[in-house]
Amino acid sequence: MNLAVQLAPAHPRGLLLQNPVMTASGTFGYGTEYAGFVDTQRLGAIVCKGTTLKPREGNPQPRVKETPAGLLNAIGLQNIGVEALIQEKAPLWASWQVPVIVNIAGESVDDYAKLASKLDGVAGVSGIEVNIGCPNVKAGGMEFGKDPKAAATVTKAVKAATSLPVIVKLTPNVTDIVEIALAVSEAGADAVCLINTLRGMAIDTDTRKPSLGNICGGLSGPAIKPIALYMVYEVAGQVKIPIVGCGGISSAEDALEFIMAGASAIEVGTAQFVNPRALLDVLEGIERFMQKEGVNELSEIIGAARH
Ligand SMILES: Cc1cc2nc3c(=O)[nH]c(=O)nc-3n(C[C@H](O)[C@H](O)[C@H](O)COP(=O)(O)O)c2cc1C
């Protein structure tokens, strides 16, 4: 069976994954934290925590709140900053077989370009995932993901600043995600990832105050799966570049739905907080499905639900 996926077919170096199972940014740290639970080298790719030019402390507590079938988070991009990432994390990644993709976030187009240029040529970094849809930060973030022109401008700036393959991660907090996907694809993105979290909130009736320090947060987990799946299905009908599906994937069945909707690869996030082995359960379940159904190449089932 061949589970390999080429996520950047138009890129000179490409971004070849041994299988389609990736980690969702912000739920797997820098790939080292889960070492005791998951054989990380079996994964398709690791996407690290959102990285900014300067280290960030993140938002005031509380930052997470469980909801029925989901999780609200407002971490606010707490991270060590790109310089520390390059000094402390990348050298370790360089010795790994699994490709590591760095998720970046900026407050301006220039920030995104600077981040991309700093990461260019760093051993251990195989690609960039551009977050243009963080709902939990005051400056930047979702601003770029909501407008097709701004999304295209960020994409072009990042592509011009790096020779690494570039995945642009889209926000679902828009009227028409297809329009944004088309804009970033035309601007040169090698792949798109969808979706980031949906904006939401919760109120603590004892304190009569919002449950999250940031008031609003991003909803993830099984609650958002049907929304994410439909967005992947819609976008897959319009763009030619590979799609990474993300949002509420907890099982191989979920992952297969995204693949059949048109995703070439998938990311697992919140499910890991419930089941630290979720990534490998998803991978092994996909393998079992392919074996049972006599599917030799993953590509045979990508977009199967569309034909
Ligand atoms: C605690 C937490 C932190 C996150 N941090 C980031 C981040 O730094 N950058 C980013 O692009 N997405 C971030 N996300 C969004 C996830 O990568 C993913 O798009 C979203 O959670 C939907 O997938 P899921 O339902 O499998 O979790 C975060 C999500 C959670 C739950």
List all residues whose CB is within 6 A of at least one atom of ligand 1.
24-27, 49-50, 71, 73, 75, 77, 103, 131, 169, 196-197, 220-221, 224, 246-249, 268-271
Report the distance separating Cα 20 and Cα 286, nearest Å: 9
User: For a pocket test of ligand 1, which of 21, 22, 27, 61 has the largest count of ligand atoms closer than 8 A to its C-beta?
Assistant: 27
Q: Give the separation between CA 37 and CA 14, rounded to whole angstroms.
A: 29
Could you tell me which residues come within 8 angstroms of residue 175 by beta carbon, excluding any fewer than 6 positions away?
A: none
For residues 274 and 135, give the distance between their C-alpha atoms in angstroms, rounded to a whole number: 23
Per-residue pLDDT reduced to its tens digit, 263-288? 999 999 999 999 999 999 999 999 99
CA of residue 153 to ligand 1 center, whole Å: 23
User: Which residue from 165, 233, 116, 159 is spatially nearest to 17, judged by alpha carbons?
Assistant: 165
Could you tell me the two tokens for 177?
């995600």
How distant, in Å, are the alpha carbons of 72, 205, 264, 267 from that of 68? Answer: 10, 17, 29, 21
CB atoms within 10 A of CB 242: 25
Q: How far is the CA of 133 from the centre of ligand 1 (A)?
A: 10
Residues 6+ apart with CB under 8 A from 205: none
**Which atom of ligand 1 has the smallest separation from the CA of 273?**
31
Low-confidence stretches of the chain (pLDDT beneath 50): none
Nearest CA to ligand 1 atom 3: 26
**Nearest atom, ligand 1, residue 70 CA:** 25
Query: What confidence score (pLDDT) does residue 307 get?
Result: 78
Mutational test site, ligand 1, from 46, 173, 197, 274, max ligand atoms within 8 Å of CB: 197
Alpha carbon 302 to chain centroid, angstroms: 19
CA–centroid distance, 39 to ligand 1, in Å, is 21
Residue 143: the pLDDT is: 81
- Is residue 134 annotated as a catalytic residue, yes or no? yes
Ligand 1 centroid–CA 307 distance in Å is 31
Q: How far is the CA of 225 from the centre of ligand 1 (A)?
A: 13
